[in-house]
């Protein structure tokens, strides 16, 4: 099976970093284009007011997470991999699924949270929902 497009949703976590490295190596081997997607729940621009209703402690966290994610992506990406970095704002699973519907990847590579069956059942996880709901193949990297 030849993969031409791979989607990897990321944040600044270690599991995300492992998934990104795996996806980048796979894209390199297959000559596939890699779409790297970072989703945040909100940004300082989330509301239309001139002055954000979000406290600076939260907005600052979002900015530092975005910067950490971009740095991680740049550090993990081999020179010869064709990739694009995308950002979305909203519920992570919904935004990832919407992006996948628009971009039509052959594979979604995501990091697993490492929860057990019981913890995963109660807490839920993005990777679990992607496995259940995505219309394309999903690979979970632990």
Can you name the residues that pair with 106 across neighbouring β-strands?
A: none
pLDDT attached to residue 62: 57
Integer-rounded Cα Rg, in Å, for the chain is 16
**Domains in the chain, CATH or no CATH each:** 5-141 (3.40.50.620)
CB burial of 39-52 (b: ≥16 within 10 Å; e: otherwise) equals bbeeeeebeeeeeb
Please report the sign of the dihedral spanned by the C-alpha atoms of residue 85, residue 86, residue 90, residue 92. negative
> Distance from CA of residue 33 to its chain's centroid?
15
Please state, in angstroms and rounded to a whole number, the distance separating the CA atoms of residues 102 and 106. 12
Q: Which ranges of the chain have pLDDT less than 70? A: 42-64, 114-124
DSSP structural state of residue 43: -
pLDDT attached to residue 45: 55
pLDDT attached to residue 47: 47
């Amino acid at each position: 099976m030849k993969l031409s497009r791979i989607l990897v949703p990321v944040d600044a976590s270690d599991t995300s970093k492992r998934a990104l490295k795996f996806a980048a190596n796979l894209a390199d081997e297959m000559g596939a284009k890699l779409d790297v997607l970072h989703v945040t729940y909100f940004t300082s621009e989330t509301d239309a007011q001139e002055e954000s209703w979000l406290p600076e402690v939260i907005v600052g966290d979002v900015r530092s997470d975005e910067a950490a994610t971009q740095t991680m992506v740049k550090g993990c990406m081999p020179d010869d991999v064709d990739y694009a970095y995308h950002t979305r704002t909203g519920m992570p699973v919904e935004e990832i699924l919407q992006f996948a519907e628009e971009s039509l990847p052959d594979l979604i590579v995501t990091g697993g949270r490492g929860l057990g069956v019981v913890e995963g059942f109660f807490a839920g996880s993005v990777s679990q929902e992607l496995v259940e709901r995505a219309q394309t193949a999903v690979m979970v990297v632990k």
